[in-house]
Amino acid sequence: MSVESRSRQSFWSKNIAWLLFMPAFILTAGILIPFGYSVVMSFTDFNLTAGTSNFIGFGNYIKLAKDPEFWNALKVTILFTIGAVAIEVGAGFASAYLLNLGMRGQKIWRTLFLLPVMLPPAVAAIMWKLMMAPIQGVFNYLLQLVGLPGSQWLGGSSSALFSVILIDAYVFMPFAGMIFLAGVQNLPKEPYEAAAVDGVSSWFTFRRLTIPLLKPVILIVLLFRIMDCLKQFDIIYAATKGGPASATMTISVQAYYHSFRWTNMGYAFAHLVILWAIVYALSYFLVGQWRKAVSEVHGY
Amino acid sequence: MKKVVLWLVIMVFALSISVALAQEDPLAYYQQAKINWQAYEGTTITIGLNKHPFTESLRPLLPIFEQLTGIQVAYVILPEEEFFEKLLVDLSSGGGIFDAYMTSPMYEWRYQYAGWIEDLNKYWDDPNLTDQEWYDRDDFYEKPLRANMWDGTIGGGLGKGRWNGIPVMVEFYCQAYRNDLREKWGLTVPQTYPDLLDTLTKAAELGKQEKPQVYGVANRGIRSWSTVHSGYFTAFSTYGQKDLTPDLEAAINTPEAKEITQIWIDILQKAGPPGWPSYTWYDAKQNFAAGRFYEITDCDFFAATYENPAQSVIAGKVGYALPPAAPDGSIVSNMWTWSLGISSLSRYKEAAWLFLLWATAPQTMLDGTLKYDNFNPTRKSVWENPGVVEKSMKWGTKPGEYREIVDAMYAKYGDIQWTPNPDVTTVGDYWCEALHEAYEGKKTIDQALDDAAAKINEFMAKWKK
């Protein structure tokens, strides 16, 4: 072996760990650098129109704390998340149960069930906006056919939040349902056979067996959907732009107004850093609960 | 003798063919200009366009430009709100996707301040790029042309300094109403705003008997400055009000402003479309054309859609009137003009200028209006063209009704009412939020406008001297 090839070999053997680590490093840097930039910018008065970018310390955060619009956005974000996650988890669970009953044409039902997830959320929002149009929309037409009064749907401040929750549930409920279905299909048979021998009711079995055994799956669905709902932007913006008044103005939509409508980037970044902190704290808590549940159910 | 006759016949035949060919040659008109149209052959430029009748009139004509110059034109078309947001992202991020784009004075104030739009004067003054005599800039109506010029003075300076865009269409805000229903229901055309409220309330009540139901008035309502801009700002200005004082303080909450806002909100609540805050101008126009409203207080140029039987069920049934007057009899209309501007980030600015020259040349603008309904034209020669006169003369309850309104707007009532400043659309967004809050009953008119004024003052503080 020549000296040159020996030194080449020693270079690879010495640095192989670093080289293999490199793609992960680049990926992490690609995530962390923009994030770090956003955090830094949240301490400035960065404005695209005025061309300013001065360090103002916690100025944006102090302003946020005093801004009633931010507190309203936080309230709307939480209400939206609770409403959407409740429907998605509840209906997703029920759908998973139905899809696991072994009905005829089960494969077709499962494919149809997944269709909404394949739609880009903004497209789904526009589709629903047309169906919810108060005058020419199909929803009010159907309501009037059965003698019920029409609703203002996305155009009324009392109905708009519920309407965007419905759209979000339409798009993401199948996602929750499919994860639940996988969980239901992997449930161990023995405890159910033992329960059948003991002659316990199906409600008891569901409450005391199915729910505890599915706890890790439920927590995973909650983790994904809560994170997603807290950040939800495209459905709400495409459907209502945060209106009427500020009825559907979530933190993401408000940050968008401040950034890409009003060019007030520093303040927009402060919104997003706060949103990130909320998402991170909740995710941290849910992951902890999930680990605990996995250890309870699977013993590891 | 026979030979001579034969030759004469052949020559006359050949001459007629060449005359016919020359007339049909779409390039001939442009080739009269002392411009080297081929100077940037092989370039591809990208144009940002809004989903708008102007865009629909431009698209079929683009092959003429490509043939004339050898420049390829790519374009992106988006609905209005999404268009301006995409454009802002492109300009502010330094992306430079668009070489030229549709713009308007309200946006140009931001773009100019941020350095995102070219001053067209330097291209206009370059004899290698422009044949001023052929182009005939004096043919443009003064109001839309000067609206695209600004000297950068925050709070003033309109019509001076930099030239940011060439106007391609103009709109004012008038009343369009269903004359057949007016006669049937025994209503009159409102002359004042309280009268408008009264008439539309009656119309909304009477419309419940119709199958399908006819609603009182269509008006845009989405959470955007554009909701403030049309019928509402026209009413607001008619009452002698301004958005900002000369010191850039919000003036949207004066007693007179509150009085007219109360009337406007009453109109929307009693006669407006259900779910008004979800209404775009596209919805308002289409639903009026579908016969679902008695009146619309929005763009006058929508008439081209209403009067087109292929797009409307109410063609020939619409009356047009000036906006109602203030108690002192005065009338004011806001104005909007779509224009074409050049991005400062473009790598092909000269090619983009040739595109602007071509797209706004008298012949292109005439073709756009005559063949593809781009109303209202910004060139006098187009508005006065016999074909355009013949077409638009029929619109209204009597010959020339629509044209009289546009003429009166150009001559007297219409002009841009916003106070020039880079954050004008933010001012409008906050103002719109106040209208939504008042409409939804979340706040009184007083509270909503006072709160919006406070937010505007906070936002505008950076521009105050």
Inter-chain touch B277–A150, beta carbons under 8 Å? no
Residue B7 covered by a domain = no
pLDDT at A16: 87
Contact B187, B267 (CB under 8 A): no
pLDDT at B107: 97
Q: What are phi and psi of B145, to 5 degrees?
A: -70, -50
Q: Which of A50, A72, A33 is nearest to A266 (CA)?
A: A50
Residue B38 covered by a domain = yes
Inter-chain touch A152–B81, beta carbons under 8 Å? no
Residue B23 covered by a domain = no
Looking at the structure, tell me whether residues B305 and B216 fall in a common domain: yes
Give me the domain span that covers residue B309.
175-334+415-463
* Average confidence (pLDDT) over B140-160: 97
Residue B317 covered by a domain = yes
Looking at the structure, tell me whether residues B292 and B153 fall in a common domain: no
pLDDT at B14: 59
Q: Which of residues 114-153 of B touch A (CB under 8 A)?
A: 114
Q: How confident is the model at residue B66 (pLDDT cuts 50, 70, 90)?
A: very high
Looking at the structure, tell me whether residues B330 and B341 fall in a common domain: no
| Residue of B440, B445, B458, B460 to mutate for A, most A C-beta atoms under 10 A | B440
**A238 residue type, one letter:** A
Tokens of A237: 């913006």
DSSP string, chain A: --HHHHHHHHHHHHHHHHHHHHHHHHHHHHHHHHHHHHHHHTTB--BTTTTB--B-TTHHHHHHHH-HHHHHHHHHHHHHHHHHHHHHHHHHHHHHHHHTS--TTHHHHHHHHHHHHHS-HHHHHHHHHHHT-TTT-HHHHHHHHTTPPP--GGGSTTTHHHHHHHHHHHHHHHHHHHHHHHHHHTS-SHHHHHHHHHT--HHHHIIIIIHHHHHHHHHHHHHHHHHHHHH--HHHHHHTTT-STTTT--HHHHHHIIIIIT--HHHHHHHHHHHHHHHHHHHHHHHHHHHHHHHHHH--
* Average confidence (pLDDT) over B391-410: 97
Residues A248 and A78: their CA atoms lie apart, in Å, by 11
Looking at the structure, tell me whether residues B210 and B237 fall in a common domain: yes
Does residue B15 register a pLDDT over 90?
no
Looking at the structure, tell me whether residues B326 and B349 fall in a common domain: no
Tens of pLDDT, residue by residue over A1-21, are 565 666 667 788 888 888 899
Nearest CB to A263: which of B92, B221, B439?
Answer: B92
- Looking at chain B, the whole-number percentage of residues with pLDDT higher than 70 is 95
pLDDT at A11: 80
**B360 residue type, one letter:** T
How many Å lie between the alpha carbon of A230 and the closest alpha carbon of chain B?
22
Average pLDDT, chain B: 95
B103 or B19, higher pLDDT? B103
How many Å lie between the alpha carbon of A241 and the closest alpha carbon of chain B?
6
Looking at the structure, tell me whether residues B54 and B129 fall in a common domain: yes
pLDDT at A10: 79
Q: In chain B, which residue's Cα lies nearest the Cα of A248? A: B223
Looking at the structure, tell me whether residues B290 and B189 fall in a common domain: yes
Find the CATH number of the domain harbouring B130: 3.40.190.10
pLDDT at B296: 98
Inter-chain touch B114–A129, beta carbons under 8 Å? no
Does residue A242 register a pLDDT over 90?
yes
pLDDT at B128: 95
Looking at the structure, tell me whether residues B100 and B41 fall in a common domain: yes
Residues A150 and A147: their CA atoms lie apart, in Å, by 9
User: What structural domains and CATH numbers belong to chain A?
Assistant: 36-298 (1.10.3720.10)
Looking at the structure, tell me whether residues B156 and B298 fall in a common domain: no
* Average confidence (pLDDT) over A193-219: 93
Considering only CB atoms, which chain B residues are within 8 Å of A50?
113, 422, 462
Looking at the structure, tell me whether residues B122 and B228 fall in a common domain: no
Q: Assess B110–A contact: CB distance below 8 Å, yes or no.
A: yes
Looking at the structure, tell me whether residues B70 and B133 fall in a common domain: yes
* Average confidence (pLDDT) over B361-374: 97
**B444 residue type, one letter:** T
* Average confidence (pLDDT) over B197-215: 96
Q: Which of residues 161-220 of A touch B (CB under 8 A)?
A: none
How many Å lie between the alpha carbon of A76 and the closest alpha carbon of chain B?
15
Domain total in chain B: 2
* Average confidence (pLDDT) over B80-93: 92
pLDDT at A106: 84
pLDDT at A297: 86
Looking at the structure, tell me whether residues B50 and B123 fall in a common domain: yes
Q: Which of residues 370-429 of B touch A (CB under 8 A)?
A: 422-423, 425-426, 429
* Average confidence (pLDDT) over B295-300: 96
- Reading phi first (left if > 0) and then psi (alpha if -120 to 50, else beta), residue B269 is in alpha
Considering only CB atoms, which chain B residues are within 8 Å of A149?
none
* Average confidence (pLDDT) over B382-392: 98
Residue B392 covered by a domain = no
Residue B16 covered by a domain = no
Does residue B13 register a pLDDT over 90?
no
Considering only CB atoms, which chain A residues are within 8 Å of B276?
155
Nearest CB to A135: which of B287, B426, B442?
Answer: B287
Considering only CB atoms, which chain B residues are within 8 Å of A133?
275, 278, 283
Considering only CB atoms, which chain A residues are within 8 Å of B278?
129, 133-134, 152-155, 240, 243-244
pLDDT at B417: 97
Q: How confident is the model at residue A110 (pLDDT cuts 50, 70, 90)?
A: confident
Residue B400 covered by a domain = no
Inter-chain touch B436–A157, beta carbons under 8 Å? yes
Inter-chain touch A49–B429, beta carbons under 8 Å? no
How many Å lie between the alpha carbon of B436 and the closest alpha carbon of chain A?
5
Identify the three-state secondary structure at position B192. Answer: strand
Residue B370 covered by a domain = yes
Q: Which of residues 62-121 of A touch B (CB under 8 A)?
A: none
